Chain A
């Protein structure tokens, strides 16, 4: 495929499509968990809340290689959780694109939780109380009041997670290595190109693609939240 006078090789096209797939999968599957954790941190009081908070933020501050190693020791083919999932659900992470998605999801998780938590905390809890006194059960309150009002944070969190997934390198390469067509995402491809004599031009082109995707995601989220803002302005 040719773009702006630069021709992408099939390997590079594979890396781009793979990155998109990994990014969407990572975002889609971590979003529900991120919402749950963010809601818990924003609204519940429970013992060990600080610990959960710290645990969620760990991937943000740990060296990505360490996160990758932890994933390898947990979700590897012979590791306890990995073996269980493979044997009972046929779900294999090790050296598969699913593993790249898992690693990207874990790395983006703290960003998602932060954005969503902030927007949930910004909701007047009395709106939820009002819904409860009107007879709405807790799940209805959550889906009809809390979640729609947190939508801007949800979008922001999803975009941050997606952008993070596109750029994830350290944890991914540690956990699932760098297999062309399976786990070689854009950053890994760029890394390989920089190690190849004469690969600089291609590396720059791939970097531009990566930047374009990230900027595209940000613009899309901005447009979405702008469309949402007029109807979410608080009533008081």
Chain B
């Protein structure tokens, strides 16, 4: 449980933010300059609010009313910086030991071997930060934060410095931290797909104010005419059961209650697999079309259609089994198909639009 209610003024910039979240991953979302990183600094104790109170898991970190301000080192926050900020004069192993050495004796510590294994950094222990790639540095940065036995993990745009392929891997990392180590995470991001995939709660910030709070699908699934490019980040992840691999065509057939999902390439053939499907890759049909190249047909019902006066609309579809998927389409198509809540339909996904980077396990 994270509870924030702060006010801070620095020159032209003023921040007034109040929110509470019980989500495993809370995303602070907004354009640059909206106050996301300042909020992280306030939670970590690297900045002092003019007025306000912050508590994490019922532990008060700062309360100006009580004149209480815990120093950063007493807050037990694991801060993961955009550029990792590993200590350049120490090896990876020493960086990790720095994290664990100062952890409070009574804290629930994570075993080093488990963190190292989970993040796959066992082979890097003797290296210096300068000898690591951007993605490796980021993993070590997360490991170092985890080793300090934090009560909350603060991640300030942890993927910003990474290229697209590594970004998807790194997102898997956050999912691991979330699911494997059960530490609540506050994630700063301005990428909708990151937020949709990882967070259960979004705090949308605009010019230092909280504009909206809610589940990512509620916030992003309303078409916002001021920002039509947002549709490229929208999407939902579906939990599928691993299916068999088709040797001949090189496709993996994943099982979902609403239908089969074809995935190019070989994916894990056991356990659960999450596939992230973008709204722009989903088309809608009222009946299975007879002559069409698309093989992934998922049946469901329209939950709602959000449209503004602009050219675009966004349909939220509840699939058989209860999961949601989004389809971005033109307002014209939505009108001509007669999309109304409750209507049964098929969501069609181009298999070629999915790639294994969009897939997470668990």
Cross-chain contact of B79 among A133, A136, A145, A233 (Cβ < 8 A) = A133
List A150-188 residues whose CB lies under 8 Å from chain B: none
Known contacts A130-B81, A133-B44, A133-B77; A148/B89 CB under 8 A: yes
List A193-236 residues whose CB lies under 8 Å from chain B: 230-236
List B32-87 residues whose CB lies under 8 Å from chain A: 44-46, 71-79, 81, 83-87
Closest chain A CB from B42 CB (angstroms): 13
Cβ-defined contact, A132 with B89, below 8 A:
no
Known contacts A148-B89, A231-B89, A234-B88; A130/B73 CB under 8 A: no
Interface band, chain A: 20 to 34
B112 at the interface (CB under 8 A from A): no
Closest chain B CB from A146 CB (angstroms): 11
Known contacts A133-B44, A136-B98, A235-B130; A149/B89 CB under 8 A: yes
A47 at the interface (CB under 8 A from B): no
B253 at the interface (CB under 8 A from A): no
Residues on the B chain within 8 Å of A131, using CB:
87, 98
A126 at the interface (CB under 8 A from B): yes
Cβ-defined contact, B85 with A235, below 8 A:
yes
Closest chain A CB from B98 CB (angstroms): 6
Residues on the B chain within 8 Å of A133, using CB:
44-46, 72-73, 75, 77-79, 148
Number of residues in B with C-beta < 8 Å to the partner? 32
B197 at the interface (CB under 8 A from A): no
Cβ-defined contact, A134 with B88, below 8 A:
no
What's the Cα separation between A134 and B142 when bound, in Å? 12
Q: Which residue of A lies closest to B132 (CB)?
A: A235
Cβ-defined contact, B148 with A135, below 8 A:
yes
Cβ-defined contact, A129 with B72, below 8 A:
yes
Q: Which residue of B lies closest to A129 (CB)?
A: B46
Can you list 19 A-B pairs with a CB-CB distance of less than 8 A? Answer: A126-B81, A127-B88, A130-B85, A131-B87, A133-B73, A133-B75, A134-B73, A134-B99, A134-B148, A136-B98, A137-B73, A140-B102, A145-B87, A149-B89, A233-B88, A235-B83, A235-B129, A235-B137, A236-B83
A124 at the interface (CB under 8 A from B): yes
Residues on the A chain within 8 Å of B77, using CB:
133
B contact face: mostly helix, strand, loop, or mixed = loop
Q: Which positions in B face A, CB cutoff 8 Å?
A: 44-46, 71-79, 81, 83-89, 98-99, 102-104, 128-130, 137, 144-145, 148
Closest chain A CB from B257 CB (angstroms): 43
A28 at the interface (CB under 8 A from B): no
Cross-chain contact of A144 among B98, B128, B145, B148 (Cβ < 8 A) = B98
Cβ-defined contact, A130 with B79, below 8 A:
yes
Cross-chain contact of A134 among B45, B102, B128, B129 (Cβ < 8 A) = B102
Closest chain A CB from B199 CB (angstroms): 22
Cross-chain contact of B73 among A124, A136, A145, A232 (Cβ < 8 A) = A136
Residues on the B chain within 8 Å of A132, using CB:
45-46, 71-73
What's the Cα separation between A169 and B97 when bound, in Å? 49
Known contacts A134-B144, A135-B73; A233/B130 CB under 8 A: yes
Residues on the B chain within 8 Å of A231, using CB:
88-89, 128
Residues on the A chain within 8 Å of B144, using CB:
134
Cβ-defined contact, A236 with B84, below 8 A:
yes
